[in-house]
Chain A
Amino acid sequence: GDSVTQMEGPVTLSEEAFLTINCTYTATGYPSLFWYVQYPGEGLQLLLKATKADDKGSNKGFEATYRKETTSFHLEKGSVQVSDSAVYFCALSENTGFQKLVFGTGTRLLVSP
């Protein structure tokens, strides 16, 4: 079945450092790919998405490119802030019309001043 693999956390960075969180996927079809962020005590917020190969999703300085050849959707940000500290989830959804997300295990990001 479909699956998403994320790098283990926590990822600990200093403010203004460069961030990469790796995400690879396995899917039978051509899924849409998502990054969601979860702040303490809250639900999930959509950070960005890409629906086809070579698409780049971006939001709030975060970027991720849908790489079909490597089945990857790595999250990057050029300069992190303390407020970016959260748990980040990579997810996929097969484009069948059924609304079922398959999530990775999540990567906790800790940014210190």
Chain B
Amino acid sequence: KAGVTQTPRYLIKTRGQQVTLSCSPISGHRSVSWYQQTPGQGLQFLFEYFSETQRNKGNFPGRFSGRQFSNSRSEMNVSTLELGDSALYLCASSSLRSAQETQYFGPGTRLLVL
């Protein structure tokens, strides 16, 4: 079974631009979560989507948004990019067959904002 895939793997943008990252979950997984990883703040939860609905959101400004499609694929968007948005963005999927389900991570998209 194929794992979680994320595209693109690397991105370079300039301040003020916007960016869209894509995540395809493991087949059959309906929950997709996004995390931001930076050297200063570590791994932080952005949001979770299930059945095209955002169920949970972390403490990030409104510039960070996402959505999920009917095939469970998810995108996240960051508008008006700031230097501090440079990070590794990780997507994780879960089957949600139980409350203790494991999240499986993709390889991440590394975003550099200049």
Nearest CB of chain B from residue A62's CB, rounded to whole Å: 16
B contact residues, range: 20 to 34
Convert B72-101 into 0s and 1s, putting 1 for each residue whose CB lies closer than 8 angstroms to a CB of A.
000000000000000000101010100111
CA of A67 to CA of B110, assembled, Å: 36
Contacts A44-B90, A105-B42, A106-B42: A99 and B103 contacting too (C-beta < 8 A)? yes
Would you call the interface of chain B mostly helix, strand, loop, or mixed?
Answer: strand
- A-B pair count, CB < 8 Å, reads 62
Contact, CB under 8 Å: A100 / B107? no
Nearest CB of chain B from residue A1's CB, rounded to whole Å: 10
A51 (CB) vs chain B CBs: closest residue:
B100
Is there a chain A Cβ closer than 8 Å to B63's Cβ? no
Nearest CB of chain B from residue A90's CB, rounded to whole Å: 11
Q: B residues 7-61 with Cβ under 8 Å of A?
A: 31, 33, 35, 42-45, 48, 50, 55-56, 58
Contact, CB under 8 Å: A97 / B42? no
Is there a chain A Cβ closer than 8 Å to B104's Cβ? yes
CA of A45 to CA of B92, assembled, Å: 10
Is there a chain A Cβ closer than 8 Å to B108's Cβ? yes
**A residues apposed to B, CB below 8 Å:** 32, 34, 36, 42-46, 49, 51, 89, 91, 93, 95-106
**B residues apposed to A, CB below 8 Å:** 4, 6, 31, 33, 35, 42-45, 48, 50, 55-56, 58, 90, 92, 94, 96, 99-108
